[in-house]
Amino acid sequence: MTRWPDCRILDLFGIELPIIQAPMAGATTVDMVVASAKAGGLGSLPSAQLNAEGLRQALTEIRTATKSPVNVNFFSHVPPPGDPAAQMRWRALLAPYFVEVGLDPAAPIAAAGRAPFDSSFCTVVEELKPEVVSFHFGLPEKALVRRVKATGARIISSATTVAEAVWLEANGVDAVIAMGFEAGGHRGNFLTQDMTTQVGTMALVPQVVDAVRVPVIAAGGIADGRGVAAALMLGASAVQVGTAYLFCPEAKIPAVQAEALASARDDSTAITNVFTGHPARGVVNRLMRELGPISESVPAFPTAGGALVPIRAMAEAESRNDFTNLWSGQAASLALRVGAEELTRKLYQSALDVIARRSAT
């Protein structure tokens, strides 16, 4: 077998390989996006930790390095109203950790957050016209979606249930990312907050495929060719891979996270909200064990992270991962240790090899 049999995503995005490098805020670099795109996959630039000017600069650098299609990813959450009481409770809960490392628990802290998609980001999209625009946590307001569509960009978003996939299709996406429970980082859920009923990739993908007419991209627990091949068999047109790219030299992650990923097993991760206020999968560490992993004391997303910055910095300086969000999916141990361009190609070729071997038996 020399050719991917389902070309819907390839044709929709104008890419050569059905491999989407996941947009991982804080870890994905311009170099990673460019390398993934040069391999023929879809490189994805996260914007949640950028402002409009930072996004413009990063996207301009990518455009200078490659003419291949790229994806720009945005969060589409609604910032919560101020809740001083919740923040005070959170600071009080973290106070012993501040004292432990010799910091004043009452010292002012910088605000933390993830920037949602807004008119200023949309202006950058209109100016630089990325081929694909993806969203996490549903979609932004309809007026902004219309502006993005007017640029000619293809719009995709993550669904963690069939109901979310159906909602996304009804609201105009060109493809759905079926995000299984195995996936690392923030869950893409937006119609439900119940983590006890979230669905694994094997069960989610075929049910989403049956429920929507648009192409489906499988995500969650896919880190080698076997996972890519399995996604095709389940009806997906392409895959989105995240954790495997964290092992690439182009990734920008703290040394303590790289160390945790290197020794992660299938049962090393858990879903937690203690780092940002929204459920996300990461390698279990001290903060998750002692406060959660799911805690009702954490303030609303994305406001929780600011209070952790000082103690995280102190711990990382001592090579401790106690307060670092060690985002990882459940298949980290399957990841190759190669560059992003080579990884993209190997994921594709090894999937074809798997399918060919199975077809020959």
- The dihedrals phi and psi of 132, each to the nearest 5 degrees, come to -130, 140
User: Is the confidence at residue 56, as pLDDT, over 90?
Assistant: yes
Q: What letter does residue 3 receive in the DSSP assignment? A: S
Domain ranges in the chain? 7-77+115-252+333-360, 81-113+269-327
Question: Does domain 7-77+115-252+333-360 bear CATH number 3.40.50.150?
Answer: no
- Residue 4 reports pLDDT greater than 90: no
Inform me whether the pLDDT recorded for 279 exceeds 60: yes
Tell me what the mean pLDDT of segment 295-324 comes to: 96
Per-residue pLDDT for 110 more than 80? no
Look at residue 24 in the predicted model and tell me its pLDDT.
97
pLDDT of residue 306: 93
User: What pLDDT, on the 0 to 100 scale, is given for residue 111?
Assistant: 75
Grade residue 360 by pLDDT with cuts at 50, 70 and 90. Answer: confident
Across 64-88, average pLDDT: 95
Q: What are phi and psi of 71, to 5 degrees?
A: -115, 135
Residue 109's pLDDT is 83
* Per-residue model confidence as pLDDT tens digits over 311-353: 999 999 999 999 999 999 999 999 999 999 999 999 999 999 9
Give the mean model confidence (pLDDT) for residues 128-132. 98
Orientation of helix 309-317 relative to helix 84-100, angle to 10°:
20
Segment 221-251, tens digit of pLDDT: 999 999 999 999 999 999 999 999 999 999 9
Distance CA 138, CA 165 (A): 9
Q: What pLDDT score was predicted for residue 218?
A: 98
Q: What is the mean pLDDT of residues 248-263?
A: 98
Overall average pLDDT of the 167-196 stretch: 98
pLDDT tier for residue 113 given thresholds of 50, 70 and 90: confident
Return the percentage of the chain with pLDDT > 70, whole number. 99
pLDDT bracket for residue 2 (50, 70, 90): low
């009452």: which residue's tokens?
106
Closest CA to 62 of 75, 49, 43, 48: 43
- For position 1, what pLDDT does the model report? 57
Mean pLDDT of 201-215: 98
Cβ(9)–Cβ(15) below 8 Å: yes
Residue 54, Cβ neighbours under 10 Å: how many?
A: 13
Tens digit of each residue's pLDDT (9 = 90 or more) over 214-226: 999 999 999 999 9
Q: What is the pLDDT of residue 114?
A: 86
Would the pTM count as exceeding 0.95?
A: yes
